Chains A and B, each alone.
Chain A
Amino acid sequence: MWLALRFRHWALDCRITPEASDGGAGMLVTETTAQRQRIVAADPVALAAGARNGMALADARLRLPEAVLHERHIALEKTAMVRLAGWAWGYSSQLHWALAGGDKVTCTHLIMEIGASQRLFGGRAALWQRIETDLTRMGYRYRAGLGETPQAALAFARADESIRRRRCPDELSIACLDLSANVRATLSASGLRLAGELFALPSGTLIHRFGPELSAYLERLRGQRPHGLALFRLPSRYNTRHELNAAVDSTQGLVFVLRRVFDALAGFLLGADSAIQTLRLSLIHEREPPTRLQLALSAPTHDARHLEHVAHQRLERVQLVAPVVGLRLVSDRLRRSRHKQAGFWPQPGQDNGDDDSWPAVLDRLRARLGHEAVQWLHQIDDHRAEHASVYRDRPPSAVATPSQASDPLPRPLWLFESPRPISDRALTQWCWLHGPERIESGWWQQGQRRDYYRVLDTRGRLLWVFRDLEATDRTTAYYYVHGLFG
């Protein structure tokens, strides 16, 4: 059982109309072929005014003098179709899509095999309900048809309501079939109206008159031949572009746009059952170079709402240099999302370590405070204290068992970024508790030779003080405070 979805106004529906812009004057998408501009998509306002697909622009202009015009953008339609195919991947693994263009394809369509999914979604009606809800939410205008073969489904998507309901291929009008214009003209001139009449003709005659294509098509329509369509394969990354019908000049205005953008991403990730970890979001401007935002999450996620939240937090810190006319999203490699499996027996004590919420909160913190705001302390095997512990943006992997024996002398909890020199007067007042401990290393870089002491100062602090043995001239200080025993 195949489901065909036809999108007559795909060239327009794949663009995002910002909320604030008024579409009262109508909107048209045109395509230039052989130096003639023709309409390929129109919005409901334009349709009501009498604009039709295939109409010459001059004719449409007569009906809609104020209409906003957009040039057709094939690459944009393609990425939008890949997004939709990713969504449909959740319902079917056999998908085929084609964009309108040339003689071959008259209308943008998506065909998918749904017979195998019916049981999973609880029957055909329930499955259709879900698909319909999704399509409405995404805001696409479509016509659907069901058939035993992809070609039949597509033909039924063009047919009238009553014929569509009976689903008998014999009753299809010849106008619904995918035939080239002159074949169709010849057939109707011969007095043929229905597909059933065409099926009844001997195939040898048809091949003789119209060539092998028509006969092959009719066999595919009836399922007597493999459908021969190129099936969609899931891309390795989410790479898409959204075009806005009107420029957005404030980050507040982007909220609505981002909702649409991340809805599409949510549909894609859910359908493809994938998770992503980084997403590069570029805000495209008319003249300026695009504003790039890198959303790096701490763990792969399939939750587009979370990504949207992170994007909003990042956008709050961004000053738009120019109005935004488009958005581009590029993700890293799609990963299979890992689903949480509950144990058969509820296990006590498993709830308190909530592993799912930690990456989410980490991303929120980083989105608002900056990526470097959350860090972990790493240890590097070095005798010099200032080189031994560094901050990195990820937790140290599997910290080795604390090797307390390796360094028996106590170390201060706090280290100063740069050691502070000590005045001679302070040196005499302090209480020297322990030392010296010689630390001498780093000859391959700036070598250091120091004697460390533990000192109690007059204010009650316990200091980690060293004497720099490399300091030989009088201009530099001998003694420095390096850390505090906090």
Chain B
Amino acid sequence: MYGELGNKLVQHAKRTQSLAHLPPYQAEMVRAVTREVRDLEKDRASTLESLAGSFDPSTDPATACALLVNHLCQRRNKRCMLAYHRVRSDKLEEMCWSGIDVLERQQQAGKAGESAGSLGAEVGNMSSLSPEEEEYVRQYSDLLAAYKGQWTDIDLTGSLEPPRDLFIDVRVLKDAGEIQTEYGAITLTKNSQFYVRQGDVERLIAQGYLQKLS
């Protein structure tokens, strides 16, 4: 039926909104919807051609209705496609803002899948992003970096929690090596605890190396 696939895409998008990660790109479905739109367009063209320019909707309501339904289906499919892609690109942008390296994570997931064995090999090679999306992420990160670069003092991607204290207690979850602070260098070894300036370790908290203790 017309529009059924579009509906499925939108359902996918809706589900994506509440997921933490990005599910695989539905390339097959996107292609099918595109095909549907093009078939509809062909139908429309041939109907119009058979009428040869002289068409009065009031004398032939059936054809008029067919054309209308055809057109509305095309538009609806377009809306569904846009919605699906928009939800995904929003998600990707969100990841860019929160400092997650989407592409790197994809590669890691791919490698993990490959090493899982011959069965996983095929799945592992498949990225959950489409090539277009990967390109988009790359360009958006560049754009974001450029925009951020104009506010070097502020660090736009920093925490949006209002700062309470200058210094905080943190626990080291993973070895993070040595960091430089104005009070000298600190070596962050796993399971140790420090009282440090929040601004110095914000990045590391976001990346999951440190945990803030309240």
Q: Do A and B come from one complex?
A: no
Q: Which residues of A contact B (CB under 8 A)?
A: none
